[in-house]
Amino acid sequence: MARNGSTKSFTNAVSDWIEQAEKDATDIARAAAKEFVSEYQDATTKVSGNLANSTHVAASPADLLKGAPDQKYSDPTAANIAVIDAMELGDHVYVAQVAPYAGKSEFGYVGSDGKPVAGHFQGLTTAAKWKGMVKRVAQVRGRKVK
């Protein structure tokens, strides 16, 4: 009888540990995604703030539709956080600046005078920091990430 009780106790302990690990991993993923979006916006060159405000988060790439050339974007923070907070472990989220001129800002372009205009590479630079963001968020929560 004692043996069955200890087996059940061990099984419950393992189940609790797995549940907590999944909760922690989801929490870390959400927090890192929020940090990513914030850093992406911060890395964006601010002329009017419109390009940074065109930073959208979606659960599907189809939801990241390009805006009109003269569209004015409002602060997307609340909507972006809502998408990230709905994310479960294993889900993907997609982040993009949807203003039509976002590609020019990211990669550069040839100006009307024929001279190249350098890109800022805000998306690529931020993406290169992703692993460090995850590690930092995990460390704050007392977890390790490889």
Residue-wise pLDDT for 113-140, tens only, equals: 999 999 999 999 999 999 999 999 999 9
146 pLDDT above the threshold of 70: yes
pLDDT per residue as tens digits for the range 36-79: 999 999 999 888 899 999 999 999 998 888 888 889 999 999 99
4 pLDDT above the threshold of 70: no
**Amino acid found at 134:** V
Beta bridge partners of 94: 58
pLDDT per residue as tens digits for the range 75-101: 999 999 999 999 999 999 999 999 999
Distances (CA, A) of 100 to 9, 105, 135: 58, 10, 33
CA distance 120 to 110: 14
CA distance 97 to 45: 12
- Strands (E) located in 47-102: 55-58, 94-97
Q: Residue 1: what pLDDT?
A: 44
**Amino acid found at 47:** V
Residue 20's pLDDT band (cuts 50, 70, 90): confident
Domain ranges in the chain are 2-140
- 17, with CB counted inside 10 A (0-12, 13-18, 19+), is exposed
Share of the chain above pLDDT 70, in %: 96
- Secondary structure of residue 37 in the 3-state scheme: helix
50: its two tokens: 């419109």
pLDDT per residue as tens digits for the range 9-19: 888 888 888 88
